[in-house]
Structure 1
Amino acid sequence: MELDDTLRALLTALGIGLMIGIVRERMHGGPQTLAAGTRTHALICLLGCIGWMLGSAAFVVCLLLVGALTIAAYLHTARDDPGLTGEVALLLSVVLGGLSVDHASLAAALGVLVAILLLLKAPMQKLSRELISERELQDGLMLGAAALVVMPLLPSEPLDPWGTVSPVTVWRIVVLVMAVGMFGHIAQRLFGARWGLPIAGFFSGFVSSSAAVTGMGQSARENSEQTTACASAALLANLASLLLFLAVVGTISPVLLRAALPSLGAAVLALLLVSACLQWLAHRSDLVVAQSSGRAFKLSQALLIAALIAGVSLLAAWLGERFGSAGVLVTTMLVALAEVHAAAAGVAQLQLSGTVPLDVACWGILGVLSASSLAKIVLAFASGGMRYGLQVAAGLVAMPCAAWLGLLLSN
């Protein structure tokens, strides 16, 4: 090892030890029982670094010696401080000191992370003991298991003869619906129902407006006094989806976007107007400030929505194979019931390749928008009930109607 590398490793280890030690001394309640402070952590980090330079056997010996000292320190201070945080931090100092020899940047980053975790003792205790309820913890664990345990185990190969739907695709929809519900629940807890729901709704729309409509519908069913706010948030999700719709069409076929821009611009204005009216009505109600006490999502409804979308995709694939190019636009409309951006991309690609004329493609784009609105209206009634469904339908009907009117007036 060159002299520069050696100095860098030693300085990195020293910096990590000083940083962790300072945080330990600042955050510890009783300095009389503090077994390892700034100097001890700095020396331990340097010991780990030097031990690793001497070889793996020397490092193991250093680690065992520090482990023995840590056990002795814990036995001495256990009555006054029964926690293990300080002991674990001491062992980590040895490991990070050794890691700084070969991976100084990684060791420094991990050292900062350890210091942050030590510094956030009080906020993390408040979060886990006071802010998060038992039900929210269960929902978070269920979402984590669905995304990180179940989804990686599912096969990605399609199971149907048309190669359309795979188990991992269907489950991804389930996770999206659950995640949107959780996102809305967290935003409402952080910002209140007045601003948390609109924020959560708009940004959820960039991921999946169908999932946002369903997630907000679940919130409306759990808290009926917030139905109008949830409906406004669902329409804001569709506004974000419509903006992404414009970007997808424009990326594939700028000519088609320019031709359909008056109608799509009218759709944006109509949707924004209805959403703003609902938001104004929600703000007038004092009931909106109530915090959500229900579940963040319902797994059964997420499974149902995923099954419906998968069924529509299978039907569209079957019709496309049976009728070929003659029914390509009809098939695209059916695809829009499940995924509006994929359908819009399909129409734009057909126009770009010359398969469909420009004027027909404009009608196809609005047909895709109308089919998607119809599907989301059904989801709104199914997930949120009559009142929520009617309010969401007001915006989702106004959007394609304004688009068709804009297209007729521009011709």
Structure 2
Amino acid sequence: MDWEQATQSLPAALGIGLLIGAVRERQHGNATTLQAGVRTHALLALMGTVGIAFGQAVFLVVLLAAALLAWSSYRITARADPGLTGEIALLLTVLLGGLAFDAPELAAALGVVVAILLWAKAPLARLSRDVISDQEMRDALLLAASALVVLPLLPDEAIDPWGVLVPSKLWQIVVLVMGVGMLGHLALRMVGARWGLPMAGFFSGFASSTAAVAGFGRGSRVAAVLVGPSASAALLANLASLMLFAAVIGTTSPALLRASAWPLLAAALALLAFSLLGLRHVKEEAVPRTATAKALRLGHAVMIALVIAAVLLVSEWLRQVFGQAGALVGATIAALGELHAAAAGIASLNASGGLQLDAARWGVVALLASASLAKSVLAFASGGPRYGVAVGAGLAAMVAGAAATTWLVPA
């Protein structure tokens, strides 16, 4: 038995027991059914540390004794308080006391988490019973199953002869589309549409601006007043995507990024300006804070992934048939489905000398135009005419700004 180690672990165990016991005491201090408070939990934590110091056999005896105490406590309080939280807390205190012997920092951190969960009884109950609807719970479970169950089972290798269709990558698009829809739904519920949707849009753009355009388009159908904030969210998602676009180009070809800096800046300013236009006439009190539609739709997300897969196949076929010229055309077509992959292709051609700098600059504009065309069509399909016009106008302004600056400012 290492008594020096045990002595160092005892303060952590004592702190864990006192903290958990204090929370239990505060929550049930006036109740006659409270069987374990500050002193009991502190003693149980110390028992756990001392027991593990003597060996695993002694610790198991201590844990069994705590389980018997928890069982006795439940028999006494079952009619007045049928919950098992207090009894589970007893056992956790002993386990954390034993963990403190070998990993006091981890045990202390877990003790704080346990105390927070015990303290948050009322807010968590209100969240699960009153705030979250049955439909939102079903949508959250569907999203979790898609990301944590289906995605790990899909192969990471291409299933086509050209190596462009990777099932796991395509399903990631499905998960992203559903995730963006859920993110926008939660932002609408928590912050309101005027600012919640644009915030959600910008951050979702770092994952997939295409998914954002589709997700916020579907959300805009809930109410007419949501069209403006949803379009602004989609444009801000494209602003975030444009930032990633520039980063991809800079990583592959720094010279091309320097030559395209002003066009990219003009494109970003155009997106920002049009996104602000969608918010100027929206009054927060007129916006519904509770969405009535589903937070996500699996069929909608799968359809988008299938369209992107078709675009990738066509672009790769062009590259195989027509070589370098086909690669440029293929990259432009690929931008219909995946802008950043197309950007890497253009930048690689420039870095390897297969594409002159001036042509590469116009290639960047062509990629933006191709992606904007695809997203505009998607905006009309997912959100209807008003949403499609708003998003299409912002994307067209982005392309126009980039093209005019490329023409006026030499490389």
Q: TM-score w.r.t. structure 2 length?
A: 0.96
The residue type equivalent to 1:270 in the other structure is A
How far apart in 2 are the matches of 1:288 and 1:239? 24
Corresponding residue number in structure 1 for 2:238: 238
How far apart in 1 are the matches of 2:309 and 2:103? 47
Corresponding residue number in structure 1 for 2:324: 325
Deviations 1:49-74 (A, max 9, x none): 11111122111111111111111111
How far apart in 2 are the matches of 1:326 and 1:346? 12
The residue type equivalent to 2:279 in the other structure is Q
CA shift for structure 1 position 387: 1.6
Deviations 1:100-155 (A, max 9, x none): 12222221111111111011111101101111111111111111111111111111
Deviations 1:237-273 (A, max 9, x none): 1111112222222233222122112222221122222
Task: Please tell me whether the aligned partners of residues 190 and 289 of structure 2 are also in contact (alpha carbons under 8 angstroms).
Answer: no
Corresponding residue number in structure 2 for 1:121: 121
Local SS of the residue matching 1:32: coil
CA shift for structure 1 position 160: 0.9
* Runs of at least 4 residues off by over 3 Å: 1-4, 284-287
CA shift for structure 1 position 284: 5.0
How far apart in 1 are the matches of 2:10 and 2:306? 58
Corresponding residue number in structure 1 for 2:22: 22
My pick for the range that moved more, 122-131 or 285-294, is: 285-294
CA shift for structure 1 position 290: 4.7
CA shift for structure 1 position 30: 3.9
Q: TM-score w.r.t. structure 1 length?
A: 0.96
Corresponding residue number in structure 2 for 1:305: 304
Local SS of the residue matching 2:309: helix
Instruction: Mark the CA change 1:79 to 1:376 in structure 2 (over 3 Å): closer, same or farther.
Output: same
The residue type equivalent to 1:104 in the other structure is P
- Residue 51 of structure 2 corresponds to residue 41 of structure 1: no
Question: Which stretches in structure 1 are left out of the alignment for 5+ residues?
Answer: none
Corresponding residue number in structure 1 for 2:208: 208
CA shift for structure 1 position 3: 4.2
Corresponding residue number in structure 2 for 1:178: 178
Deviations 1:65-109 (A, max 9, x none): 111111111101112211110000001111111111222222111
- Residue 80 of structure 2 corresponds to residue 80 of structure 1: yes
Q: Between the two proteins, what is the percent identity of the paired residues?
A: 54
CA shift for structure 1 position 193: 1.1
Structure-to-structure mapping, 1:344-383, within 5 angstroms: 344-383=343-382
CA shift for structure 1 position 371: 0.7
Aligned-CA RMSD value: 1.5
Structure-to-structure mapping, 1:184-333, within 5 angstroms: 184-281=184-281, 283=282, 287-333=286-332
Local SS of the residue matching 1:81: coil
How far apart in 2 are the matches of 1:128 and 1:29? 25
Corresponding residue number in structure 2 for 1:409: 408
How far apart in 1 are the matches of 2:247 and 2:95? 49
How far apart in 2 are the matches of 1:337 and 1:193? 29
Corresponding residue number in structure 2 for 1:343: 342
How far apart in 2 are the matches of 1:286 and 1:34? 46
CA shift for structure 1 position 289: 4.6
Question: Which stretches in structure 2 are left out of the alignment for 5+ residues?
Answer: none
CA shift for structure 1 position 183: 0.6
How far apart in 2 are the matches of 1:216 and 1:179? 11
CA shift for structure 1 position 225: 2.9
CA shift for structure 1 position 324: 2.0
Deviations 1:298-349 (A, max 9, x none): 1111010011111111222222222222311111112211111121122112
Corresponding residue number in structure 2 for 1:396: 395
Structure-to-structure mapping, 1:65-144, within 5 angstroms: 65-144=65-144
How far apart in 1 are the matches of 2:272 and 2:11? 57
How many pairs are equivalent? 410
CA shift for structure 1 position 393: 0.6
The residue type equivalent to 2:307 in the other structure is L
How far apart in 2 are the matches of 1:320 and 1:37? 72
- Residue 146 of structure 2 corresponds to residue 146 of structure 1: yes
Local SS of the residue matching 1:33: coil
Local SS of the residue matching 2:163: coil
Task: Please tell me whether the aligned partners of residues 194 and 289 of structure 1 are also in contact (alpha carbons under 8 angstroms).
Answer: no
How far apart in 2 are the matches of 1:345 and 1:73? 65
The residue type equivalent to 2:161 in the other structure is P
CA shift for structure 1 position 213: 0.4
CA shift for structure 1 position 275: 1.4
Local SS of the residue matching 1:80: coil
How far apart in 2 are the matches of 1:315 and 1:29? 70
Local SS of the residue matching 1:180: helix
